[in-house]
């Protein structure tokens, strides 16, 4: 079945560091990928839609200059958390729909646990 891979699975770094998270579709192409954030005991919140070859679309309240998204190929989207601070500590998860049309299931990566000291 369709597999979405995220890397790294967890990262700990100092405040002020920039962190890059990769999301890959392993056996299918994805012109669109989605990035979510999940705080402990809470649900997933959509941060942005990553579009291959064009700018990402950000949800209201998500700073585009803080969370840089690049979708340079049909199988890779990256999320860079710039100048990360402790409040950015969270579980970041990406997903990709299988198939080009609407109403398709999405498959999720296993998430990246980000801890900022």
Check residue 62 for interaction with other proteins (CB under 8 A): no
Nearer to other proteins, 18 or 104 (CB): 104
**Pairing mode, strands 76-81 and 19-25:** antiparallel
Reduced to 3 states, what is the DSSP secondary structure of residue 41? coil
Closest to 87 in 3D by CA, of 103, 66, 57, 108: 66
Q: Residue 63: CB partners within 8 Å, gap ≥ 6?
A: none
Check residue 49 for interaction with other proteins (CB under 8 A): yes
Check residue 71 for interaction with other proteins (CB under 8 A): no
Q: How far is the CB of 95 from other proteins (least distance, A)?
A: 7
Kindly list the residues in this chain that would bind other proteins in the complex (CB under 8 A): 4, 6, 32, 34, 36, 42-46, 49, 91, 93, 95, 97, 102-111, 113
């Amino acid at each position: 079945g369709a597999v979405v891979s995220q890397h790294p699975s967890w990262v700990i770094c100092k405040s002020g560091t920039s962190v890059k998270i990769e999301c890959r579709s392993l056996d299918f192409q994805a012109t669109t990928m989605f990035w979510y954030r999940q705080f402990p005991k809470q649900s997933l919140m959509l941060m942005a839609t990553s579009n291959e070859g064009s700018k990402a679309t950000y949800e209201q309240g998500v700073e585009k200059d803080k969370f840089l998204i690049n979708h340079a190929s049909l199988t890779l989207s990256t999320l860079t958390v710039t100048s990360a601070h402790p409040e950015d500590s969270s579980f970041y998860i990406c997903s990709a729909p299988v198939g080009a049309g609407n109403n398709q299931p999405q498959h999720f990566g296993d998430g990246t646990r980000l801890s900022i000291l």
